[in-house]
Amino acid sequence: MLLCAPFLLPQDTTVPVRVDLAARLRPMEIDRFGVGQGGFSPEPMWTDRMPEIRAIRPRTIRLFVQEYFNLLPARGRYHWDTLDQSVDLILKTGAIPMLCLTIKPKVLFPVIDQKIVEPNSWEEWDALIYNLVRHYKDRGGKGWYWEITNESNLPSGGGTPYHFTPANYPRFYQRTVAAILRADPEARVGGPALAGYEAPLLKALVEFCASSKVPLHFVSWHGYSNDPGWFRKSIEDVKALLAKHPGLKPETVINEWNMSLGISEVDPRFQAAFIAETTYQMRQTGLDLSCYYHIRDYHLAYDEFLKFFPKEFAMREKMFWERRPVYLGLFDLQNRVRPAYFLFRMLSRLTGTEVRVETGSPVVHALAADDEELKTSGVLLWNFSKFPARVSLEVGNTAPEVSARTFVLDSLAPNDDDTTRMRPLNPVSFKGGAVKLPLELEPYGVTFISLEARR
């Protein structure tokens, strides 16, 4: 966990940010940077926030398929109803489920011991996985992402009941993905959802899949760090590992990420700027998918955990989630919308085609896209620094007449009203195919500019 405040030097001069709307790079596909939900409860934890999540248009939403869904209550008897509620919630938002398999049915794992990682009947396990995937395929859900366990390089499995070694993970992976692909040949399978990325489990999985021709459609890992550069380096390092096995072409997926855990005090403006900067670094480094962790902070269904999770670790989870400051959710424990959500709202406005952006600063960055259907371009600018910054935004090759509408993400405003959090400035009109706009960005400030062609 890096607690260092990045880039401490003040910005004395004006930072030029140049956007060229004629330089059309690639489809923006900002929806690749999706969200996930922690594995705390069998309830659909963010039901009443479905419209808000749909509004930010995540391509994927990750869900923990935990033992509390009770998928195999008795040998040969399956129970999908409870899980269906959480899966259906994802589908209502228009996202593809990324289902992380962390179940340990009691009939297949009678002893609560995270080091016991193989079921007492592989045939029953295969049948369970096959029928699970088949159940959703029969409901029209083909081509989903299926991830094999979570953070199992850790003793607590990141709140899940498996603790693997590099030696025993590949066998479990192989059996499980075979069952998935038998049920849905279009499914995307992968793992190992590492805590961090340097654990030997990832290397072992990649080498095993390459040598044994076992499908590996994506590799996944997690990071909680205040330093967006950590994410960049992790992507570069994983790509370097994959480059040694050119036969594999897995997608790269960071499907849990946020700022450092366990911090007591943070500037309320930090998180939104951190999300913008980290998304930018992920994008620049060519990450395929991400799932921000997470949608809503939620109270742990502690009694449910005790049925399958070691008591010692259940207590640690309870302690962390109930008694420590938790800053992770787009919605907090009481379902209050956080400023971070509004950053995702702004990101989702980057529709259409990505266009070239240049800045002259290591801390003031921007992303921009042009949407021909909307006849509108969007520029998201942020200042990932504890000092304010003056910015001179210059947009070239615009329509002959445009109206620029600027929205400041105001994380310090005393209420959560939509138009308070995304505070509009007075619109300004421009002619002549160019826009020049001076902007003041507060520490960790975020601003969105919508450039709308006059119709």
State how far the Cα of 42 lies from the Cα of 350, in Å rounded to an integer.
34
Q: Assess 423 for contact with another protein (CB under 8 A).
A: no
Q: Which is nearer to another protein, 138 or 322 (CB)?
A: 322
How many CA atoms are closer than 13 Å to the CA of 329, on its beta-carbon side? Answer: 22
Check residue 311 for interaction with another protein (CB under 8 A).
Answer: yes
Q: Which is nearer to another protein, 44 or 192 (CB)?
A: 44
Residue 417 touching another protein (CB under 8 A): no
Residue 163 binding another protein, by CB under 8 A: no
Q: Does 319 bind another protein (CB under 8 A)?
A: yes
* E-strand stretches of 76-187: 96-101, 145-148
277 neighbors 365 (Cβ within 8 angstroms): yes
Q: In this complex, which beta carbon is closest to another protein, that of residue 176 or of residue 258?
A: 258
* Binding of residue 210 to another protein (CB under 8 A): no
Q: Environment class of residue 371 by beta-carbon count within 10 Å: exposed (0-12), middle (13-18) or buried (19+)?
A: middle
Q: Is 335 in the site for another protein (CB under 8 A)?
A: yes
H-helix segments, 2-75: 50-55
Binding mask 26-65 for another protein (x = CB under 8 A): ---------------x-x-x--x-----------------
Look at the block and give the residue holding tokens 């006849």. 375
- In the complex with another protein, which residue's Cβ is closer, 210 or 326? 326
For residue 414, state whether it binds another protein (rule: CB under 8 A): yes
Nearest to 149 by CA among 60, 237, 67, 37: 67
Residues within window 216-235 making contact with another protein, judged by CB under 8 A: none
Helix (H/G/I), strand (E/B), else coil: 148: strand
Write out the E strands in 311-383: 353-359, 364-371, 376-383
And the tokens for 235?
């992507």
213 binds another protein (CB under 8 A): no
Q: Helix count (H) and strand count (E) of the chain? A: 11, 18
Q: How many residues bind another protein (CB under 8 A)?
A: 29
Nearer to another protein, 212 or 334 (CB): 334
Query: For another protein, which residue of 293, 298, 305, 308 counts as binding (CB under 8 A)?
Result: 298
The one among 134, 135, 233, 318 contacting another protein by CB under 8 A: 318
CB-based contact 272:414 (threshold 8 Å): no
For residue 416, the one-letter residue type is D
Nearer of residues 198 and 416 to another protein, judged by Cβ: 416
Contact between 360 and another protein by CB under 8 A: the answer reads: no
Element (H, E) at 137: helix 122-138
Smallest gap from residue 418 Cβ to another protein (A): 15
User: What whole-number distance in Å separates Cα of residue 107 and Cα of residue 120?
Assistant: 8
Residue 430 Cα to chain centre, angstroms: 37
Assess 341 for contact with another protein (CB under 8 A). Answer: no
Q: What is the closest distance, in whole angstroms, from the C-beta atom of residue 331 to another protein in the complex?
A: 10
Range 262-291, binding another protein (CB under 8 A): 264-265, 268
Q: How far is the CB of 148 from another protein (least distance, A)?
A: 29
Q: Which is nearer to another protein, 112 or 178 (CB)?
A: 112
DSSP sequence for 383-397: E-SSS-EEEEEEEES
Q: Is the Cα torsion angle 24, 26, 31, 36 positive or negative in sign?
A: negative
Dihedral pair phi/psi, residue 140, rounded to 5°: 100, 5
3 binds another protein (CB under 8 A): no
Nearer to another protein, 233 or 316 (CB): 316
Q: Tell the smallest beta-carbon distance from residue 414 to another protein (Å).
A: 4
Q: Which two tokens stand for residue 290?
A: 């991400």
* Residue ranges in contact with another protein by CB under 8 A: 41, 43, 45, 48, 264-265, 268, 297-299, 311, 315, 318-319, 322-327, 332-336, 338, 414-416
